[in-house]
A and B are shown apart, each in its own frame.
Chain A
Amino acid sequence: MTNTLTCENLSKSYGGVVAVRDVGFTIAPGEAYGLLGPNGAGKTTTISMLVGLLKPDSGTVVVGGADLAADPMAAKAKIGYVPQEIALYPDLTGRENLRFFCRLFGLPRKEVRGRVEEVLDLVGLADRADAKLDTYSGGMKRRINIGAALLHRPELLILDEPTVGVDPQSRKSILDGLERLVADGMALLYTSHYMEEVERICHRIAIVDHGSIVAEGTRHELVELVGGADRIELTLDGDVETALAKLRGLGGVTEAVRTAPGSVRLIAEGGRYLLPAVISTVDGIAAVTAVEVVEPDLEATFLHLTGSTLRD
């Protein structure tokens, strides 16, 4: 299958400071790809080069078979760009905003009205279409911001932090909508500070740090990078000190600490499978009143690879 987006060796420097270095990845039709990275990692610079806002110092971008540098009009016609800010006119209505971008992007005059209605339905704003944008809630503004990028039926949708500042209900609505678009065959490039959004939406994820992709793969593949150690949180009632000493000697447990008078934390390989042995080890010494097994997650991987949390 031909990739919708292929970018190779993208680099960009500002006065000797490297912002992006040799970034390259592909996105297939119907695939969602996530870019994860701390602030200043080069995500926005990368996106700016992909949508033609910045000229890369080197590298190529091909969208739907059209080279962005050689034929920018053809390539851009296949890209829908959702900027981080609400990049629409606050004193126009939702319908007027969409109509403006339809005309600007060259949709045939006859199709404008129909396409505007389609997109309003798609983002669930048909009933508020004639209200000015500055009367919209944060979630509604985010939805129409995405809608404006869909007007010219792009093959690739690029979203830069599309859910910043929205309530959980609107976030769910936006993510549901994006999943439907991907299911219908659209390619998606997604950046977000919300790890759980990226984990939910994206098939493949690239972790970006200091302008380079430091790891790439599915969620499972990325988590594997930091090994399979689980965290087990135990709440005990009885002789906690003796139980802790016994647990330290249990095979598979690499670390055991008392975190509270009645709580113990274990780090163990394959923690979920070790639970029966853990319970039998403390049997007769203390009663297990609660247990939680926390598997390694993308947050841990991110921390491991970049040395910072996503919201640093």
Chain B
Amino acid sequence: MLRSLLTVSALELRTRVRDRTALIIAIIVPVAMATLFGVALGGDDPPLRATVGLVDLDGGEFPDGVRREIMASTELDGVLTLRDLPGREQAQSALDAGDIGAAIVFPAGFSASVGAGRGGQVGVLTSADTPLAGVVANAVVDRISSLVRARTLAVRASLDAGVPAGEVKEFVERNGAAGPALTLENDPMAGGRVDLSVYYGAGMAALFAFFVVGASFRGLLIERKQGTLDRMRAGPIHGWVPIAGKAVVGFVLAMVSVCVTWGSSVLIFGSTWGDPVAVFTLLLAHVLAATAITMLVASRARTDAQADGVIMVISFVAAFFGGSLVPLYNLPDLLQTVALFTPNAWTTTGLTGLAGSGAGLASVALPIGVLCAIAAVAFGLAATGFRKGLLG
């Protein structure tokens, strides 16, 4: 069984390499297109307008300091809006509803605890849908954390030196330890920058994955026309071997294609797509979904020309609505909702988030899950189609 499958795969790979479609569709065109888009449109950030919730259960100096600093920051002017919320639950609800992009939660007694040298913890709520707002919230909290650490250390040292507890606050502030005034770094969104070369690189990778894997399934229908598929199926092999053999090659070539597009984007533009493991896994899930969808088309198509046309239409429609050609934030709200039905949207959003946030695999669990679900449904429908048609 495995040997038969490898034999079919080896012939498919050889055919694709010989006729140069693998080289052209999988590597040259996506890299060229991603580079052209990157050169023409890259270097500009997608507009960020984030709303971050602030839950002040403390009522002390630290939340006030944060609020003051954000209001005073020129970098955040017109970009970041703070919204006060009464509690953590309300913040979570607002986050789930998409009213805010992230939230910072100061627990009750936070300022007092830090003032007494016992430290404290600030909570951050983020959403995978709004990674850039999460970046801002985390940047603010990182800054608070370092202040808290410095303040706690100073208070403990003063107490150990015999300063009375009632005078320690004044003593510490008089001697230069950072007070509750918060100073944000010049550009708290440094990690949130996403060069459009990454955006279009991701878009081209997502688009051409369909074409690359689609070529293998088109080959399956050509084999049906020339009779070699029937000759294979009449032999002592399982009926799925020719289909699986082609699918494996299409999948591998599409993975090569998306990885080369990724690599070329990094090398040519010096931009990062984020955590490599997370990027690779997300691309893997996208190619899996593209394989399943093109397999579904092949299972229902009557001719290779029909399959070719349908795959072309699906690829471009998914690319357009999924943000591979036009950034998602440029689409009207209705089309942004439609985008959720395309694998490209989940892949592009996931990749943009990874590039912007520097987060890991866990941050793209949802896009990966959705892509795998799309793949599972399409594989199931394709299997039914093949049983009724090609293998009937």
- Using a CB–CB cutoff of 8 Å, the interface residues on chain A facing chain B are 51-55, 72-74, 76-77, 79, 81, 83-91, 100-101, 103-106, 148-149, 152
Contact = CB atoms under 8 A, between A and B. Distances in A.
A106 B5 CA distance: 11
Nearest to A55: B392
Given A54-B392, A81-B231, A83-B231, A105 B226 contact: no
A106 B235 CA distance: 10
For the residues of B in contact with A, the DSSP-based class is: helix
Interface string B1-17: 00110011001000100
A302 B21 CA distance: 51
A73 B4 CA distance: 13
B230 A53 contact: yes
Nearest to A103: B7
Interface in B188-245: 226-228, 230-238, 241
Contacts of B15: 89, 91
Contacts of A90: 226
Interface residues of B, number: 21
Contacts of B236: 72-74, 76-77, 105-106, 152
Given A103-B7, A104-B7, A89 B228 contact: yes
5 contacts: A81-B230, A81-B231, A87-B230, A104-B235, A152-B236
B389 to A, nearest CB: 12
Contact of B18 (A73, A91, A106, A152): A91
Contact of A105 (B18, B228, B230, B235): B235
B226 A100 contact: no
Interface of B: 3-4, 7-8, 11, 15, 18, 226-228, 230-238, 241, 392
Given A81-B230, A85-B226, A89-B226, 9 more contacts: A73-B237, A81-B231, A87-B226, A87-B228, A88-B228, A88-B231, A106-B4, A152-B235, A152-B236
B384 to A, nearest CB: 15
B234 A51 contact: yes
A48 B228 CA distance: 14
A211 B235 CA distance: 25
Contacts of A104: 4, 7-8, 232, 235, 237, 241
Prevailing SS type, chain A contact patch: loop
Given A103-B7, A106-B4, A53 B228 contact: no
Given A73-B236, A152-B236, A106 B231 contact: no
Contacts of B238: 73
B235 A53 contact: no
Contacts of A100: 7, 11
A87 to B, nearest CB: 3
B112 to A, nearest CB: 77
B231 A76 contact: no
A53 B229 CA distance: 10
A53 B226 contact: no
Contact of A79 (B226, B228, B234, B241): B234
A103 B10 CA distance: 11
Contacts of B3: 103, 106
A52 B228 contact: no
B227 A83 contact: yes
A90 B227 CA distance: 12
Contacts of A91: 15, 18
A24 B237 CA distance: 26
Contact of B227 (A79, A85, A101): A85
Contacts of B237: 73, 104-106
Nearest to A47: B234
B7 A87 contact: no
Contacts of A152: 235-236
Nearest to B233: A53
A24 B7 CA distance: 36
Contacts of A81: 230-231, 234-235
Nearest to B237: A104
Contacts of B235: 76, 81, 101, 104-105, 152
Nearest to A76: B236
A154 to B, nearest CB: 10
A129 B234 CA distance: 24
A105 B226 CA distance: 19
A45 to B, nearest CB: 13
A76 to B, nearest CB: 4
A53 B227 contact: no
Contacts of A51: 234
Contacts of A72: 236
Nearest to B6: A103
A87 B11 contact: no
B243 to A, nearest CB: 14
Contacts of A89: 11, 15, 226, 228
Contacts of B241: 104
